[in-house]
Structure 1
Amino acid sequence: MSFLQRSRTAKTLAYETYSLGTHTKVTVHCAGVIEFSPLQPVQEFGQVKPTNPTRIKSIIYSCGVHGNETAPIEICDALVTDILNETVIVKHRVMIQFANLLAMDIGQRFVSENMNRLFSGMHSHSADDSIEAPRAALLEQLTFDFFARGPVGAKRYHYDLHTAIRAAKYPRFVVYPYLDGRSYDKEQISWLAGAGIQAILLSESPTTTYSYYSAHVCQAHAFTVELGKVQPFGQNDMNDFTLARDFLFNLVISEDYVAPDAPMPVLFRIKQAIMRNHKNFKLHFSDDTPNFTAFAKGTVLASEFDDTQQEFIEYTAQIDNEAIVFPNADVALGQRALLTLEAIEPTDIPID
């Protein structure tokens, strides 16, 4: 039985540590969260600073924040199984998190509420009976502790792996969280390109997503990574995920990872975040409209009446070729129902 199967069956697993041969320390933190680190040398925070800390990585792969986004779950399950079977030997500290086990069991995006709106402390504002809130709080703490225990000077990485609800002009894309004034990382962009990423969305304000928590609080290179379209377990064509799978595996087994050459992803900045504020919110395009579909300036994208039916509110494209992404008219009131995007050039942003 795989670690993921044990986690989904038991729902609670006791904390334990053990070794794989003389090469890997294994730490089971709880159901769905497992950590691997090379035994030689074991360098935790506070010990002698490594001679070349930039070569040492602390890596987190999270998946299943939405329980029906199965391809990343299957990729991470295969990686954990290969490490435990000793067919893959890690060269860096890596924690793998299967986030929303209960949502996986019912094949739904979430049970009580969208987990990816509950980070950076937002879990504390949820209802007492929320399924996702205590899990988000636990994942936050495990992430913070994992990075804090890392070797002094080690680079930090967090790839929060997803698949999108609908088709897309660019099926493989990432959201680059707001960096609080820091420059975008040239190496990370090249790594993502080598992993098959076709487009990058640059967030320009704080959010409550998991990747923003890691970028802001833990100062990690962190991304929300969309690898394709939602499918049920066992129905993914894994050939569609070859580049992403190779990246995720090779990063943890290579002392010095070098990305394959690949075209620069298309860059977008977020133009509008359109919120659903009233019950009768609706989108003005069909449900099968792909992500990254562009609209002419002035096109009505969404509308709603206020609760008194007195004021009609329209949300329109503000520029030509304004693209849409993540449309969902059924989100909870007060949550984002749609992002719109503006294409930009690499010269428009600071990249170091």
Structure 2
Amino acid sequence: MNILSALLADSDAELERDIPGCRTRRIAQGVWECLPEHSAGSPLVLCAGIHGDETGPVEVLAELVDAACMGELLPRRPWLFAFGNLAALRLGRRYLECDLNRCFRGAPHAGAAKIEVARAHALSQALSIFALHGKGLLLDLHSTIRASLHPSFAIRPTATPGSGATPGLLATCGVPVLVEAGVEAPTFSATAAREHGYEAYTFELGRVRALGAGSSEELDALRNGLWRLIEAARPPESAASPRVYRVKREILKRSDDFALHVPADAPNFLPLQTGQLLAEDSPSRWFAEEGECLLFPNPDVAPGTRAVVLVRPVESGAT
């Protein structure tokens, strides 16, 4: 039985066989560390399924784990792989009680239920254990729930905007766009950056799809890039630099009276007109500022959480 089928049947599933040439142990439900006998790279964390309906990256990660167990993929660096929200994944839902990726600094709002909060705690503990092997790279793999002018992009939580990404990393994984954000977000990648000094990214790759539909061709570059990372292969020397955006501000939903004044089908990175009314939540109103673009608009979030992110492109050479 492959790892994904095993986890869908039982959250306490173990790997069917050890990964050849590595010491492998489960450190939480759906989370394993793999330590190669001969390491040639810094630690790597790969996570997928933080949202249970974002299945393409989950299937890619499962394929990589199965290939490693069969001896086809040969890990050459300490590797933690984690399947995020197993309960939601099993039901094909984004989450059960609250957004797991808003729980890594505790409950996202008053009265939040416990399933995702407990899972965030378990994932954070697993990361803390693995971080004893030193600073490394974390990639949290997601899919988008809406169309995007950039179908694949990465979000990097960083305290030093403009510091640059690992050379060739994004290009290796087929990700041409980078969004720079702060490290205070309650997300898994921001936790890795903030608490463990990891170079961390949230990858947004393709659209939400049904589990079992298979990891689509649009994820081939990701699959190949992750394979190279796990084997500690050198990235391409001639990789193009990503197009960069920077988060300028976020709009929080304060009450159930919140109204978002953008079309329901507005894509991510849509350029906004200066002065355009974006949202209101009495008595407050928010208007677009010069150069801003739309990212992750969602009026259906719970009060107290982010309803939209506004980003601005960074000119080449700017800091």
SS in 1 for 2:175: coil
Matched residue, 2:27: 29
1:166 aligns with 2:146: yes
Query: How does 1:179-218 map onto structure 2 within 5 Å?
Result: 179=159, 181=160, 184-188=163-167, 190-204=168-182, 206-218=184-196
Matched residue, 1:74: 59
Change (3 A) 1:268 1:86: same
Match of 1:144 among 128, 132, 135: 128
TM-score (norm 1): 0.84
Tell me which structure has the larger Cα radius of gyration: 1
2:308 counterpart letter in structure 1 = L
Query: How does 1:320-335 map onto structure 2 within 5 Å?
Result: 321-335=291-305
Matched residue, 1:105: 90
1:177 aligns with 2:127: no
Change (3 A) 1:124 1:232: closer
Matched residue, 2:253: 276
Per-residue CA distance 1:68-91 (angstroms, 9 max, x = gap): 001110000000111111111111
Change (3 A) 1:304 1:219: same
SS in 1 for 2:166: helix
CA distance in 2, matches of 1:302, 1:182: 27
Contact 1:196 1:243 (8 Å CA) reproduced:
yes
Matched residue, 2:285: 314
Query: How does 1:242-257 map onto structure 2 within 5 Å?
Result: 242-254=220-232, 256-257=233-234
CA distance in 2, matches of 1:208, 1:166: 22
CA distance in 2, matches of 1:241, 1:20: 24
SS in 2 for 1:163: strand
CA distance in 2, matches of 1:347, 1:336: 30
Contact 2:28 2:122 (8 Å CA) reproduced:
no
Per-residue CA distance 1:147-193 (angstroms, 9 max, x = gap): 11x1xxx55010001011101000111111032x48623425x3112
Q: 1:283 deviation in Å?
A: 1.6
SS in 1 for 2:317: helix
CA distance in 1, matches of 2:172, 2:227: 13
Q: 1:130 deviation in Å?
A: 1.5
CA distance in 1, matches of 2:294, 2:97: 26
Query: How does 1:4-23 map onto structure 2 within 5 Å?
Result: 4-13=4-13, 19-21=18-20, 23=21
1:122 aligns with 2:106: yes
SS in 2 for 1:187: coil
2:285 counterpart letter in structure 1 = E
Per-residue CA distance 1:104-157 (angstroms, 9 max, x = gap): 1111110010011111x3249775842111111010011011011x1xxx5501
Q: Which runs of 5+ in 2 are unaligned?
A: none
Match of 2:42 among 54, 57, 60: 57
Contact 1:293 1:323 (8 Å CA) reproduced:
yes
1:173 counterpart letter in structure 2 = F
Per-residue CA distance 1:303-341 (angstroms, 9 max, x = gap): 223xxxxx3x3211011x311000000001010000011
Contact 1:83 1:90 (8 Å CA) reproduced:
yes
2:23 counterpart letter in structure 1 = K
SS in 2 for 1:136: helix
Q: 1:40 deviation in Å?
A: 3.5
Contact 2:270 2:293 (8 Å CA) reproduced:
yes
1:162 counterpart letter in structure 2 = H
Change (3 A) 1:124 1:264: closer
Q: Which runs of 5+ in 1 are unaligned?
A: 42-54, 306-310
Matched residue, 2:243: 266
Match of 1:84 among 69, 72, 78: 69
Q: 1:66 deviation in Å?
A: 0.4
Q: 1:19 deviation in Å?
A: 4.6
CA distance in 2, matches of 1:260, 1:70: 31
CA distance in 2, matches of 1:162, 1:132: 17
